[in-house]
Structure 1
Amino acid sequence: MPWLQLKLTTTKTYADAVGDELMMLGGLSVTLEDAADNPIYEPAPGETPLWNDIQMMVLFDAQINTDEVLAVWQENPFSEFTAHEKFEQVEDKDWVREWISRFEPMKFGERLWICPSWQPVPDETAVNVLLDPGLAFGTGTHPTTSLCLQWLDQADLHNKTVIDFGCGSGILAVAALKLGASKVYAVDIDPQAITATSENAKRNGVLDERLIIGQPEILGDVVVDVLVANILAGPLESLAEQISSHCGSHAKIALSGLLNHQVESVSQTYSTWFDMQQAENLQEWSRLTGTKK
């Protein structure tokens, strides 16, 4: 059965109220998008920011009377803060299955493949990480994850200890173990990331004593040979001293989640403790690497 979608524009001041009112009129879900060029790169912890100008899509059952809904909406006081209201038909799809059908095996570097678990691996002799998209960020499709995977592929991880700081799906932690690391600490403040990392580790046969998963507090005074952090520039800068404290002499770091224009500031911050190298770029994103002094 097809759905009907009401599209309109509003502002962040009234988005919550407008969405609530339309849900009371029979809306089933509300989706928000940027209606202008106002990107949000780094929300502060605990914040859920919105763009200044918002395009709202409200999903309705196809059996509703659209003229009636629009007429009732025009009588609502909050309609004063919306514009360009228009209904359109939405094709009925299993959107999860649609996305899954497009998720193909991806190669990073010389030997590392990220493969959806429902497809055969392209190369049985390669280092294959089986991954199902789920609760947390990190499938290899985003440039920052790709940059980190490429770095891990070329790094010497044999018998090394590693921290995956902000592990998300656990893709980097699992890859590090499969690339030869002796122990990996996968930490994240998001409980969903802890769950996702455990599930992906189990899927890859590495949910054992070599992998320690939890909140950052589990690190204690742990010092490792390699640390990879694919988070954001703001947290990377604020956590720089803490990250440095977990890196032994000559330890290697890879930092990503950076936009190209943020590289200089982050590199300068980490140069207090690390000999920083030139950034590697992919699209508008960057990865910094360094060696502990």
Structure 2
Amino acid sequence: MKWSELCIHTTNEAIEPISNILHENGASGLVIEDAMDLVREHTSTFGEVYELDPEQYPDEGVYIKAYLPINSFLGETVEEIKQAINNLMLYDIDLGRNQITLSEVHEEEWATAWKKYYKPVKISKKITIKPTWEAYQPVDTDEMIIELDPGMAFGTGTHPTTVLSIQALEQFLKENDTVIDVGSGSGVLSITAALLGANHVYAYDLDDVAVNSTVLNAKVNNVEMKITAKQKNLLDHVTVEADLIVSNILAEIIVRFVEKAWSQLKPGGHFITSGITQAKKQFVKQHLEQQGFEIIQSNELEDWVSLVARKPSYE
């Protein structure tokens, strides 16, 4: 089968919403080529250094590459993708150059190309994420290994927003907590919570493919009995009372369910939010505080922010 590679030159801020658009339009395989990768250190926990080819990277911003089957609907699909991306400007999302190019590739090329970008990475003090096809031996006795197979539909779990979320979970999740993961994606945060000792995790995502991915990855990591994955729009019709809610999605989406998060959290519970750009930090912080949350921690990694909010206890 012949495939078309769709390459979008955009910004780091636009990665997640554009990735969602591509997935919704049937794209397979997702590769992110970030210009900043060329100046970051790339030493793994093994001491290996991965050399990157500057010719494959943009001079600024990021390339998002996805793959569409070449058929009679390709033209219409590409136009729908372009329109949906342009509509992101209505949400004040910086699209950068927003240049889209199309080229033809063969199946064997895209089927494996994205995997070369995915290596074991130590995310926090205890958590290391590795792809299912990579061998890895724990370095520390208390190290927890999460195996992920994103199935070419989701991220690898190493994006700064995910790293911030995992680090916050490690700090604030208590043993036997009930946890809600809003926008579960591949299920990496749900799996992290389960491994860190949560009593049960409720993983919600609007995308049924994400729900299936969470179920699959939960089984791979032997925590399927601790995770309930369901298709839901944010926290609509959710009645579970949680000790902790975590959500790694866009700032504009987070503020839409702050009130519902408040009502589903037990007094003293924590609301971990990520996926927030520096420019949207005050926007989210204001909504959280207006609802009554206390901001107890703000963490930053590269251009991303994670806010940890607490619902006051009533004694």
Q: TM-score, with normalisation over the residues of structure 2?
A: 0.67
CA pair 29-120 structure 1, distance change in 2 beyond 3 A: closer
Q: Distance in 2 between matches of 1:34 and 1:101?
A: 20
Q: 1:123 to 1:188 in 2, by over 3 A?
A: same
Contact residue 158 and residue 180 of structure 1 kept, 8 A: yes
1:252 Cα offset (Å):
1.0
Instruction: Return the offset for 1:98.
Output: 3.0
Match for 1:263 among 248, 256, 281? 281
Residues of 1 paired with 2:102 and 2:194: CA distance? 44
Q: 1:162 aligns with which of 161, 174, 179?
A: 179
Change (3 A) 1:96 1:153: farther
Q: Deviations over 1:5-36 (max 9, x none)?
A: xxxxxxxxxxxxxxxxxxxxxx952625248x
Matched, 1:134 2:145: no
Shift of the alpha carbon at 1:107?
Answer: 1.1
Cα distance in 2 between the residues matched to 1:181 and 1:282: 26
> Structure 1 residue 194: deviation in Å?
0.3
Q: Does 2:135 align with 1:120?
A: yes
Q: Which residue of 2 aligns with 1:105?
A: 120
Bigger Rg, which one: 1
Residues 161, 181 of structure 1: 8 Å contact kept: yes
Q: Give the share of equivalent positions with the same residue, in percent.
A: 32
- The RMSD of aligned alpha carbons is 3.0
Worse-matched range after superposition: 149-158 or 239-248: 149-158
What is the distance in 1 between the residues matched to 2:193 and 2:230?
17
Structure 2: 5+ residue stretches without partners: 25-82, 87-94
| Alignment of structure 1 residues 126-275 onto 2, 5 Å | 126-134=143-151, 136-208=153-225, 210-216=226-232, 220-271=238-289, 272-275=291-294
- Name whichever structure is richer in helix by fraction: 2
Letter in 1 for 2:267: S
- Which amino acid counterpart does residue 85 of structure 2 have in structure 1? P
Answer whether contact 2:6 2:102 (CA < 8 A) is retained: yes
Decide whether aligned partners of structure 1 residues 54 and 266 sit closer, same or farther in structure 2, where only a CA change above 3 A counts. Answer: closer
Determine whether 1:33 maps to 2:8: yes
- Provide the C-alpha distance between the structure 2 equivalents of 1:56 and 1:266, rounded to a whole number of angstroms: 31
Q: Aligned pair in 2 of structure 1 residues 219, 106: CA closer, same or farther (>3 Å)?
A: farther
Question: 2: CA distance between counterparts of 1:214 and 1:146?
Answer: 24
Are the structure 2 counterparts of residues 56 and 290 from structure 1 closer, same or farther at C-alpha, using a change threshold of 3 Å? closer
SS in 1 for 2:229: strand
Looking at structure 2, the residues matched to 52 and 141 of structure 1 have their Cα atoms a distance apart, in angstroms, of: 23
Q: Normalising by structure 1, report the TM-score.
A: 0.71
Q: Is the 8 A contact 1:28 1:58 kept in 2?
A: no
| 1:58 aligned residue (99, 102, 107) | 102
Q: Distance in 2 between matches of 1:253 and 1:38?
A: 24
Extract unaligned runs of 5+ from structure 1. Answer: 1-26, 61-89
- State the shift of 1:279 in Å: 1.9
Stretch moving more, 233-242 or 42-51: 42-51
Counterpart residue identity of residue 195, structure 1: N
Equivalence for 1:292: 311
**Per-residue deviation at 1:55?**
3.7
**Structure 1 residue 185, shift from structure 2 partner:** 0.3
Asked if 2 retains the 8 angstrom alpha-carbon contact of 1:30 and 1:56, the reply is no
Contact 1:149 1:172 in 2 (8 A): yes
Aligned-residue offset at 1:99 = 2.6
**Structure 1 38/95 Cα, relative in aligned 2: closer, same or farther at 3 Å?**
closer
Paired amino acid for 1:29: S
Do the aligned partners of 2:120 and 2:131 also contact (CA within 8 Å) in 1?
yes
| One-letter amino acid of the counterpart of residue 4, structure 2 | S
**Residues 131, 148 of structure 2: 8 Å contact kept:** yes
SS in structure 2 at match of 1:172? helix
Cα distance between partner residues in 2 of 1:162 and 1:202: 18
- Cα offset, 1:195, TM superposition: 0.8
